[in-house]
Amino acid sequence: MESTGTNDDIYGNFEMEEVDKNRATQRRNKLPPKCGTVCVGLLLALLVVGNIGQLVYHAVSSTDREYYNNQREELQRNYEAKLGNLSDEVQTTHLIREAKARELTQQVRDIVTMIAKGKNCDTGWKKYGLSCYFVSTAKKNWAASREDCKAQGADLVVINSEEEKDFVTGLVNGPEDWIGLTDSAQEGSWMWVDGTPVTTTYWSGGQPNSSKGDQDCGEMWKDSKQKKGLWNDEDCSLNNTWICEKKLTFE
């Protein structure tokens, strides 16, 4: 009986082991077929999808950058165009104001001229344009002649045009009349007494020659037809007649 019990146990254990093996086999059989290949496939698929997503992301980012760059460039162009237009407007306004200022200045000059033309020169003075001229009969050196002009509210004549030169030539008492011309400040640099540089000149032939190295004052000659009204530099200490010029004012 004992041996039977033992055999039963042995057979029982054997049966249990068989059952366990069968169950394990069944569990293995329940797994999906070829799982390793499928998993690798899925993994590859995921990688491909991931790469595509990354490409799409970059593509969108690149498109965005291009869009914003275009926007920025357009804004920059608009800004520069508006700045240019503004600059043109400012320049135009400035030019208009300058033109208006010139126009007003000319109108004032015209009014002053009209008033001055209606005025007469003092007795003994001759009128030409907007100035009065006085020719002395007395003779003085250049500096004293000038002082005499100043004492009368005038100065030695300044020749501003050929027409004025011709008019003053007709006044010359001669043979030599002092005019408002000097190079005493700097030898060879001739200036008018009103401080303006001498641009147009009517020097007689060979003049100015600073004869003997001491001729710093200008005079007009009357001693011959060829030289009449032409200029010479002379020793300032010599006594000559002189010509004053006084501008007309509307006061």
Pick the stretch among 104-112, 167-175, 176-184, 197-205 that binds Ca ion (CB under 5 A). Answer: 176-184
User: Judged by CB under 5 A, how many residues of this single chain contact Ca ion?
Assistant: 11
Helical H segments across 118-192, by residue range: 142-151, 162-169
135 contributes a contact to Ca ion by CB under 5 A: no
Q: How far is the CB of 83 from Ca ion (least distance, A)?
A: 50
Going through the chain in order, the beta strands assigned E by DSSP cover 126-128, 131-135, 155-156, 176-182, 191-192, 217-221, 231-234, 241-247
| Residue 232 in contact with Ca ion, rule: CB under 5 A | yes
Closest contact distance (angstroms) between CB of 113 and Ca ion is 15
Q: How far is the CB of 194 from Ca ion (least distance, A)?
A: 8
The verdict on 158 binding Ca ion (CB under 5 A) reads yes
Site for Ca ion in 180-199 (CB under 5 A): 183
Q: Is the dihedral of CA 84, 88, 89, 91 positive or negative?
A: positive
168 neighbors 222 (Cβ within 8 angstroms): no
CB of 90 to Ca ion, least distance (A): 40
Q: Is 209 in the site for Ca ion (CB under 5 A)?
A: yes
List Cβ neighbours of 137 (8 Å cut-off, separation of 6 or more): 173, 241
Q: Select 145 or 215, whichever has its Cβ closest to Ca ion.
A: 215
Cα 45 → chain centroid: 69
The answer to whether 204 contacts Ca ion (rule: CB under 5 A) is: no
65: its two tokens: 């950058």
Judged by beta carbon, residue 160 or residue 169, the one nearer Ca ion is: 160
Chain position carrying tokens 């300058």: 98
Q: Answer left, alpha or beta for residue 247, where phi above 0 means left and psi between -120 and 50 means alpha.
A: beta
- Residue 233 binds Ca ion, judged by CB under 5 A: yes
Cβ closer to Ca ion: 84 or 153? 153
Output the six-digit token pair for 234.
Answer: 């002379």
Q: Which stretch binds Ca ion (CB under 5 A): 11-19, 138-146, 160-168, 218-226?
A: 160-168
Q: Would you call the peptide bond into 32 cis, given omega within 30 degrees of 0 as the criterion? A: no
- Please tell me whether residue 210 binds Ca ion under the rule CB under 5 A: yes
> Which residues are at the interface with Ca ion (CB under 5 A)?
158, 160, 183, 207, 209-211, 215-216, 232-233
